Amino acid sequence: MALEDAKNQVDMAFTREDPRGLAYENAFAGATSAFRRRYTKDLSGVDLAITGLPFDQAVTHRPGARFGPRAIREASTLQAFDAPYGWGYDPMSALTIVDYGDMAFDYASTREVPGRVQAHIGGILAAGAGSIALGGDHFLTLPILRAYAERLGPVALIQFDAHSDTWVDDDPERIDHGTFLYKAIREGVVAPETTVSVGIRTDNPDTMGVTILDAPFVHQAGVAETVARIKAVVGARPTYITFDIDGLDPAFAPGTGTPVWGGLASWQAAAILRGLAGINLVGGDVVEVSPPYDTTGATAIAGAHVAMELIALYGWTRRGA
């Protein structure tokens, strides 16, 4: 069946009629959408919307994450043929998943961006779907969390990152990818006692009460203990996962703005995410993929794999619903 489909499928981003199921279009051909899902703004009956947020004007060092959504979509075509390994089910067939496209905004009106992001994600949630956002820099997670809190109240948060992003910033007008969590806690959209940060390896003494499972802890304690500690923090609460690609070691993800050595290996990230099956995931994002700093495309490939794991996690508790 796959061979016959491969002979005929092309531009599935626009031509597919059934929103569910795998796609066998040549990975190197056709219009590029996330995992060959259909591009649409119609969220009727949709379980999960993948959307791009191509904004990177809040970075402290190297820009380029504005190109992240496009690169992740291109890399995702390599995963459209098969169910994700190790999950035992196919989320692309179990759920109705679409590519909602990118958020429109005026790149020169940066102060309008937070409100636009919140409204963009809020519109997805209002339609009854969950969201997986492709960034973009890590500032974007703050208005996303505002949108979720507006609908669900404060959510539990799992952060994969090299940096705590809790540097002090009491200026409500500042847009900074290094302070999103500080502001989220201060605003009450997440609570520190239900927040856990994984892979941290830069110094910031004020953790604001967040549980820190730094990179050395993960390396020494192992995947099983890391997963157990994360689950103990978030419990059964509605949970959001934000994955800064610099949570991975630069050997696995060099294409990012603020790389730090000593990070997670890709196999560790994959094992941890799969170990989290059963949590009440309500949404997630992959941020800080900056393609200009990685000529191999490995960082975008890693970002696409993270996105797929988030999709599989989201679908795990919703299969057959």
User: Given this model, what pLDDT does residue 3 score?
Assistant: 61
Among 70, 110, 80, CA closest to 11: 80
**Domains of the chain as residue ranges with CATH:** 2-316 (3.40.800.10)
Give mean pLDDT in consecutive 10-residue pieces for the chain, a chain of 321 residues: 74 93 93 97 98 96 96 97 95 97 96 97 98 97 98 98 93 90 97 98 93 98 98 98 98 97 98 98 98 97 98 94 61
Residue 73 carries which side chain, given as an amino acid letter?
R
Rounded distance between C-alpha atoms, residue 1 and residue 22, angstroms: 11
Yes or no: say if 145 and 292 are a contact pair by the CB < 8 Å rule: no
pLDDT at position 194 is 98
Cα–Cα distance, 279 to 283 (Å, whole number): 11
Q: Return the pLDDT at 7.
A: 79
What's the confidence (pLDDT) of residue 4? 65
Amino acid at 38: R
The identity of residue 307, as a single letter, is: A
Alpha-carbon dihedral sign for residues 11, 13, 17, 21:
positive
Q: How far apart are CA 263 and CA 277, in angstroms?
A: 23
List Cα–Cα distances, 289 to 104, 180, 292, in angstroms. Answer: 19, 17, 9
CB 137 within 8 A of CB 60: no
The Cα 230–Cα 213 span in angstroms is: 9
Backbone angles phi, psi at 156, to 5 degrees: -70, 150
The per-residue pLDDT for 6 is 73
Tell the burial category of 220 from Cβ atoms under 10 Å away from its Cβ (0-12, 13-18, 19+): exposed
- CA-to-CA dists, residue 291 to 35, 44, 176, 211, 299, angstroms: 18, 33, 20, 31, 7
Confidence (pLDDT) at 283: 98
* pLDDT of res. 268: 98
For residue 72, give both structure tokens. 């992740």
Instruction: Give, in degrees to the nearest 5, the angle at Cα 286 between 143 and 132.
Output: 70
Alpha-carbon gap, residue 248 to 245, rounded angstroms: 6
DSSP state of 130: E
Structure confidence at residue 170 (pLDDT): 87
Tokens of 183: 């502001």
pTM for the full model? 0.96
Helix (H), strand (E) at residue 12: helix 12-15
3-state secondary structure of 283: strand
